[in-house]
Structure 1
Amino acid sequence: MTTARKPFWRSLYVQVLIGIALGILVGWLWPDAGRALKPLGDGFIKLVKMIITPIIFLTVVTGIAGMVDLREFGRVGTKALAYFLTFSTLALAIGLAVGNLVQPGRGLNVDPATLDQGAVASYVGKAHDQSVTGFVLGIIPDTLISAFTSNEILQVLFVAILFGIALAHLGEKGERLVGSLRTLTAVVFRIVHMLMYAAPIGAFGAMAFTIGEYGIGALANLAGLVLTFYATALLFVIVVLGVVARLAGFSLLALVRYLKDELLLVLGTSSSESAMPLLMEKLERAGVPKPVVGLVVPTGYSFNLDGTCIYMSLAALFIAQATNTPLSAGDQLLLMAVAILSSKGAAGVTGSGFIVLAATLSVVPAVPVAGMALILGVDRFMSECRSLTNFIGNAVATIVVARWEGAINVGRLNRVLAGGAGELTEEESDALQIEGKIEALS
């Protein structure tokens, strides 16, 4: 029995697309009105961030508690971190290579002394808080409860891992609680679907503000950097992630089509966090085991930021070239080494990439931090591309780690990706995960 297709205009994809188009139009024709619509975008992102904490906690806890062998958890985590480090480093290297080849900042001949350092002072101030020690200690919450109120993804993940391991050790005593948590998880994801009704409005407000505040004309001033960044990110996604996906046995294009609603949401809000709950749900529906989704996706939002890494290396080279600051091979290797560390922990929200860039340049004295004022006006336009690249990178990483674990049936995965959302029921998804495990053991 076939169900009637719903009208195209009821699709989240179409609604968000309309919201983005209207936002661009309003911001262009009525800039003041566009700037005034900023609360719509901010409000929607706050709504989604409100639900991210319980989703991460519940998904991780029920996933770990359902593991037969907790050594599987450690194995998944190790493989995920190895993947993150490898591809973050590769993204930085590609950004440096393209920056040296294209040289988007060459010929601007900007004197750093003439730049307005006050324009980036607030970002530099925040950047001073970015240190390796501070980042590691920041994973540990002040109290068990504060992890849920601080809006720090890694703190919630840390508490969830401890809770899940403890619950798994209770054996039969903890089964009743696990069942209740699974029911609560279903409730929370239902709330997510309710919040998505506001997605087109949030995308409309965010895009209207961006165009109204910075203007489409702002792109022309630094078009070379913006176009180079977009082209490099596209190259990374199509070539690098495309090859990785093919080696893992699935099509990157099919995955992008499967996640088209979420990608438009990220584009409209300029925040990959706005689509995190839907990404986790869709990956589970595609047959990726809950423990892998619960561990890899939230961790990837802090450790696997391919778009941010490309942006940091390109932006740093642009500033150096624009200010005629020579960078030796040693300087560039130091820049990449610092960026590998400073990029970890950058949240998937608007402006975080700029703060992390400030943190990196503060440690690399060869590049003038004041040069960041050159790209401040167009950073928002690059934020969308950063978020999209980060989002796709985390989706690919989650499937690859599951494939690496032998915990997913590739044939069924491709069937779901080709069929789109809603292909599998929850019972079918559970059966798929079991089938994948059996296939890996045989």
Structure 2
Amino acid sequence: MNALLINNISKILRSGWTVLIAVSIGIYIGLYKHEYVEYVAPIGHIYLDILKMCILPILVTAISVSIARLMQSEGDNTYITRMLTVFAISVVVSGSLGAALGLISQPGSGYDDATLASLGSIIRESGAPDLEISAYEPFIAQEKQSFVKTFIANLIPANIFSALTSGSSLKVLFFAILFGSAIGSLNKDSSHALLSSLESVYLAFAKMVKWLMIFLPFGLLGLIAHDVSQVGINVLMAMMKFVPIALLGFLLLFILSSLIMWQRTGSLIRPFLALKDTIVMALGTGNALACLPSTLSAMHEKLGYDKKTVDLLVPLTFTICRTGPTLYFALATLFVAQLYKVDLGLSGLITVIMGSIFAGLATAGASGVILLSMLSLVLAPLNLPVEAVLVLFIVIDPIIGPFRVLTIVHTACAIITLIMPKQVPPLKYGPPIPVE
């Protein structure tokens, strides 16, 4: 009887209606009941911390085991070339789309003096340089910063335990790839016990995440109430041109990835339903790696893709194909250039796209201020100011961030369907049927 009661409560808490109610309450508290934010926000932060606690062990074990078994398999590794090609095309398309949106919509031009004064007041309150003044003054050229050097510094860990402690997922990924390759180079008898242990660790943390999903409504309520309470109406009015254009860019990538999954799976609705929990998690937590367990489950259990390949591709795609940040950095750079009336030219646009790709790649595992600070990797080589505008992007990030994460997650799933064999949907039940 107790088991039945617990099972019913679990089903209610995991219901889409329960999640919707929790999100609605969180928005209401964030907008109209600020006095309750201090009580519900810690619940959201604790939930996210526990979830993040499980992510890096899953990342290390999934990548290491998958690469080792891929190297030890006797079949051909046909996915490698296709994977690298699709990865490269996806980030180039994202950066180009962001730059194109910036050129067409001109989000940083046409501001009147009152709006510039409003933007300047936001920056003055933060202690940053005064945009109201600096927007009309010429730049003093600064020494160019190498985004390649910065990226390499963020790639190779001097101490893997320090990288695990700080949550530097790009460094952890680099270690996991090397570690998995080393295990894969051993003979199967020597590596069997280690691979079995790593897989057990992966399954244990995945089980913890599954338990945690039961309490998702409470975590979302606290996180959304906090984020909504941080966004002021004055900021939205001052950035009213940039915010909807950024959201439009994410929407275009979402639509494109939906069409890709439709073409690759033979169904438009089935991928959406399979990724329903992942989409809610992305919008609720604003953390791409927090969506890793639900995405692994959806791609294997609900869409029927091979578990070994999914365990390799999903973490790699989340970490390397940073489509959301890449688009956002390109658009944000065009916004800053237009705000300061700087003509970038063709070479400048190429620098924007390439710099956005590297900056996006350097954001793996980062969020909030740390993620936005990577914008300097694009602005600095163009001699555009960083400190004077960074705060503008920080104050609107509670709105932008969840949709940027959703773009990373959703396009990653579409990318994986491009890499994996094309499928047709089943007649009624069971996994899809490969046709390639």
The structure 1 residue matched to 2:273, chosen from 224, 245, 257, is 257
Instruction: Give, in whole Å, the separation in 1 of the partners of 2:92 and 2:105.
Output: 20
Mapped pair 1:17 → 2:33? no
* CA shift in 2, pair 1:261/1:249, >3 Å: closer
- Contact in 2 for aligned 1:108/1:323 (Cα 8 Å): no
* CA shift in 2, pair 1:143/1:217, >3 Å: closer
* CA shift in 2, pair 1:333/1:349, >3 Å: same
Instruction: Calculate the TM-score normalised by the size of structure 2.
Output: 0.81
Q: Which residue of 2 aligns with 1:364?
A: 382
- Contact in 2 for aligned 1:40/1:202 (Cα 8 Å): yes
The structure 2 residue matched to 1:214, chosen from 208, 213, 231, is 231
Instruction: Give, in whole Å, the separation in 2 of the partners of 1:147 and 1:366.
Output: 31
Mapped pair 1:229 → 2:232? no
Q: Which residue of 2 aligns with 1:53?
A: 56
Displacement of 1:229: 1.5
Q: Which moved more, 1:211-220 or 1:298-307?
A: 211-220
Instruction: Give, in whole Å, the separation in 1 of the partners of 2:14 and 2:104.
Output: 42
Q: What is the DSSP-based 3-state SS (H/G/I as helix, E as strand, rest coil) of the residue aligned with 1:44?
A: helix
Mapped pair 1:133 → 2:146? no
Displacement of 1:121: 6.0
Displacement of 1:287: 2.8
Q: Give the count of matched residue pairs.
A: 408
Displacement of 1:243: 4.3
1:274-293 equivalences under 5 Å are: 274-285=290-301, 286-293=303-310
The structure 2 residue matched to 1:103, chosen from 95, 101, 106, is 106
Displacement of 1:23: 0.8
* CA shift in 2, pair 1:73/1:9, >3 Å: farther
Mapped pair 1:410 → 2:423? yes
Displacement of 1:267: 0.8
Mapped pair 1:40 → 2:51? no
Q: What is the DSSP-based 3-state SS (H/G/I as helix, E as strand, rest coil) of the residue aligned with 1:363?
A: helix
Q: Which moved more, 1:262-271 or 1:148-157?
A: 148-157
Instruction: Give, in whole Å, the separation in 1 of the partners of 2:384 and 2:161.
Output: 43
1:19-418 equivalences under 5 Å are: 19-34=22-37, 37-67=40-70, 69=72, 76-109=79-112, 116=123, 119=126, 131-143=147-159, 145-168=161-184, 169-215=186-232, 218-238=235-255, 240-285=256-301, 286-351=303-368, 352-366=370-384, 370-403=388-421, 410-411=423-424, 414-415=425-426
- Contact in 2 for aligned 1:297/1:395 (Cα 8 Å): yes
- Contact in 1 for aligned 2:253/2:411 (Cα 8 Å): no
Q: What is the DSSP-based 3-state SS (H/G/I as helix, E as strand, rest coil) of the residue aligned with 1:223?
A: coil
CA offsets 1:307-363 (integer angstroms, 9 cap, x no match): 212211222222233333333233222222221222212135532442222332122
Q: What is the DSSP-based 3-state SS (H/G/I as helix, E as strand, rest coil) of the residue aligned with 2:70?
A: coil
Displacement of 1:135: 2.7
- Contact in 2 for aligned 1:109/1:324 (Cα 8 Å): no
**Unaligned stretches of 5+ residues in structure 2:** 1-6, 130-143
Instruction: Give, in whole Å, the separation in 1 of the partners of 2:341 and 2:183.
Output: 58
Instruction: Give, in whole Å, the separation in 2 of the partners of 1:253 and 1:130.
Output: 44
**Unaligned stretches of 5+ residues in structure 1:** 123-127, 404-408, 425-431
Instruction: Give, in whole Å, the separation in 2 of the partners of 1:219 and 1:34.
Output: 21
Instruction: Give, in whole Å, the separation in 1 of the partners of 2:344 and 2:354.
Output: 15
* CA shift in 2, pair 1:350/1:206, >3 Å: farther
* CA shift in 2, pair 1:267/1:130, >3 Å: farther
Q: Which moved more, 1:386-395 or 1:317-326?
A: 317-326
Instruction: Give, in whole Å, the separation in 1 of the partners of 2:26 and 2:331.
Output: 29
Instruction: Give, in whole Å, the separation in 1 of the partners of 2:262 and 2:402.
Output: 26
Displacement of 1:196: 1.6
* CA shift in 2, pair 1:220/1:137, >3 Å: closer
RMSD: 3.4
* CA shift in 2, pair 1:332/1:117, >3 Å: farther
- Contact in 1 for aligned 2:90/2:323 (Cα 8 Å): yes
Q: What is the DSSP-based 3-state SS (H/G/I as helix, E as strand, rest coil) of the residue aligned with 1:164?
A: helix
* CA shift in 2, pair 1:12/1:147, >3 Å: farther
Q: What is the DSSP-based 3-state SS (H/G/I as helix, E as strand, rest coil) of the residue aligned with 2:375?
A: helix
Question: 2:313 is aligned with what amino acid?
Answer: V
* CA shift in 2, pair 1:191/1:42, >3 Å: same
* CA shift in 2, pair 1:172/1:195, >3 Å: same
CA offsets 1:206-237 (integer angstroms, 9 cap, x no match): 11111212246643432322111112221222
* CA shift in 2, pair 1:288/1:100, >3 Å: same
- Contact in 2 for aligned 1:27/1:34 (Cα 8 Å): yes
CA offsets 1:80-136 (integer angstroms, 9 cap, x no match): 3332221111111112212221222321146699573784869xxxxx998423433
Question: 2:355 is aligned with what amino acid?
Answer: V
Instruction: Give, in whole Å, the separation in 1 of the partners of 2:389 and 2:67.
Output: 46
Displacement of 1:25: 0.5
- Contact in 2 for aligned 1:19/1:204 (Cα 8 Å): yes
Displacement of 1:280: 1.5
* CA shift in 2, pair 1:187/1:222, >3 Å: same
Instruction: Give, in whole Å, the separation in 2 of the partners of 1:415 and 1:117.
Output: 59
Displacement of 1:164: 3.2
- Contact in 1 for aligned 2:167/2:365 (Cα 8 Å): no
Displacement of 1:24: 0.5
- Contact in 1 for aligned 2:230/2:395 (Cα 8 Å): no
Question: 1:332 is aligned with what amino acid?
Answer: L
Instruction: Give, in whole Å, the separation in 1 of the partners of 2:313 and 2:60.
Output: 13
Instruction: Give, in whole Å, the separation in 1 of the partners of 2:365 and 2:169.
Output: 10
Displacement of 1:75: 5.4
